[in-house]
Amino acid sequence: MKAGAEFDDFLNRIGRQRRYSKYTLRNYSKSVLEWYDWLGSNEMFSGDIFSVPRIFAKNYIAYLSQKVSRTTLHNKISALRTFHRFLREAKGAKENPFASLPLPKMRKDLPVFLNPIQVSKLLSAPWEYFKEGKIKHFEAVRDALCLEFLYGAGLRISELCSLKFSDIDFSRATARVLGKGQKIRLCPFGKNALELLKIWKEEYCAGRAQGDFILFCESGMQIYPRLIQRNLKNYLVEAGLPANITPHKLRHSFATHLVDEGVDLRSLQEMLGHSSLSTTQIYTHLSTAHLKREHGKLF
């Protein structure tokens, strides 16, 4: 079953009016198109996307439950709820078949993070690569700056890629970040990041305007998440650290270390850009788990 004009209208709505990120748009688009395909393969479906029976939505959830993780399932159904809510509000659909349907409970695993010694090794890895002649000075400065912002300021990878010179206050060492839901927050960053940023700007950013992206490839193109992820893997190997560490786990490391140092949750919530304090509270559980492990070494 092919998507019609209503699908394009939906993407236009969430892209322009709600200003969802490119990443979210891509995932929502994929989820909705998969839903269309599944409906099209069902001989009992009438073909009317505006009046999908609730039982079809229940069956689809059961189908996805056997194929994807619970996190992915929740994300896909969230997209479909949003899509059918749009059809009801803007296109006159009778109901949202996914409204209020129960989903399997999410597992609340504690985030994976690096300890301070491991972080120190990782932050020095680009310079080790440079000394060994594996990368140029341009890459060493840029990648070291990426790591400093991901860990030292707790930025999401999409936020890092979108940083512009106009977002930086050099005198206060803060970055103005546009986060999820188009929410703006101020993120302090450390002395190392500030010094690297000054070197980067002086040596490699001549002629770049205030509205230009800070981080870029040698071609001058804006840096992209996949490049950062790939380089991080290389540096983890260089530092002898777990290869499953991702940019987002550096953000977890940032948050965990702040909690360990006594930063209050409200301040941490602001720095991370969490809309709900309950999201931030997981780091108190993480800190407690760390204390128990340390206690267990002695008793």
Active-site positions read 156, 180, 248, 251, 274, 283
C-alpha to C-alpha distance for 33 and 2, rounded to whole angstroms: 8
Residue type, 250: L
**Burial class of residue 160 in the structure, from the number of CB atoms within 10 Å of its CB (0-12 exposed, 13-18 middle, 19+ buried):** buried
The first and second tokens of residue 23, run together, are 């990443």
**Pick from 94, 96, 100: nearest CA to 85:** 96
H or E element, residue 254: helix 247-260
Q: Supply the DSSP symbol for 138.
A: H
Q: Which residues contact 165 (CB under 8 A, 6 or more apart)?
A: 201, 205, 208, 209, 210, 211, 212, 214
Question: In sequence order, what are the beta bridge partners of 174?
Answer: 169, 188
What CA–CA distances, in Å, run from 177 to 196, 264, 270? 19, 21, 11
